[in-house]
């Protein structure tokens, strides 16, 4: 039992925060059944995740309230989302809380971080974990215009790092 636990600890300890121009490991494009993931918006309305894909290259980010690195990362992600909004690209960042709790818990969690109004969807059933092959939280995927995963990063991202922002701008076509 000690071996698997130690291996998991080493893997988690080594993931670290993404900063640098190659934060998102390219992967062979793979389809993800985003139509099979039901999400809830801030109004409590249910949709399928595919409804939120813009038909252009996008960034798909998963997080959870129980995730300590997510708590640290979210203010930077919110600042990055605001920059995208200023550039007219906010719809190209899809943020999903993987959380079975009532929606109020997510909203309260975000308010506690000073992030009232931060736009996040909710996956109450954790279907996104299996569909997107998530390994831990937070996790970020780069999607092409067809919604296929073409890059990914497990662990927190330094959203203020200029090299990361340049890599994401290139991905989004800017």
Q: Which of 18-22, 27-31, 42-46, 122-126 has the lowest mean pLDDT?
A: 18-22
The two three-digit tokens of residue 94, written as one number: 């899809």
pLDDT band, residue 30 (cuts 50/70/90): confident
Q: Mean per-residue pLDDT for 67-96?
A: 96
Alpha-carbon dihedral angle through residues 37, 80, 142, 171, given to the nearest 10 degrees: 140
The pLDDT confidence band at residue 83, using thresholds 50, 70 and 90, is: very high
Determine the 3-state secondary structure of 72 from DSSP.
Answer: helix
pTM: 0.86
Within 13 Å, how many C-alpha atoms sit on residue 60's CB side? Answer: 32
pLDDT per position as a tens digit, 128-154: 999 998 888 999 999 999 999 999 999
């Amino acid at each position: 039992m000690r071996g698997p636990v130690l291996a998991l600890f080493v893997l988690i300890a080594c993931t670290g925060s993404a900063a640098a121009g190659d934060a998102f490991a390219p992967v062979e494009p793979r389809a993800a059944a985003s139509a099979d993931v039901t999400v809830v918006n801030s109004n409590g309305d249910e949709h399928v995740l595919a409804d939120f894909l813009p038909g252009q290259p996008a960034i798909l980010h998963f997080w959870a309230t129980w995730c300590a690195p997510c708590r640290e990362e979210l203010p930077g992600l919110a600042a990055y989302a605001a920059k995208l909004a200023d550039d007219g690209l906010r719809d190209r960042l899809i943020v999903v809380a993987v959380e079975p709790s009532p929606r109020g818990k997510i909203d309260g969690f975000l308010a506690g971080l000073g992030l009232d109004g931060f736009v996040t969807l909710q996956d109450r059933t954790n279907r996104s974990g299996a569909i997107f092959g998530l390994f831990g939280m937070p996790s970020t995927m780069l999607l092409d215009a067809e919604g296929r995963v073409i890059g990914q990063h497990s662990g927190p991202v330094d959203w203020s790092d200029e090299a990361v922002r340049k890599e994401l701008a290139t991905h989004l076509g800017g």
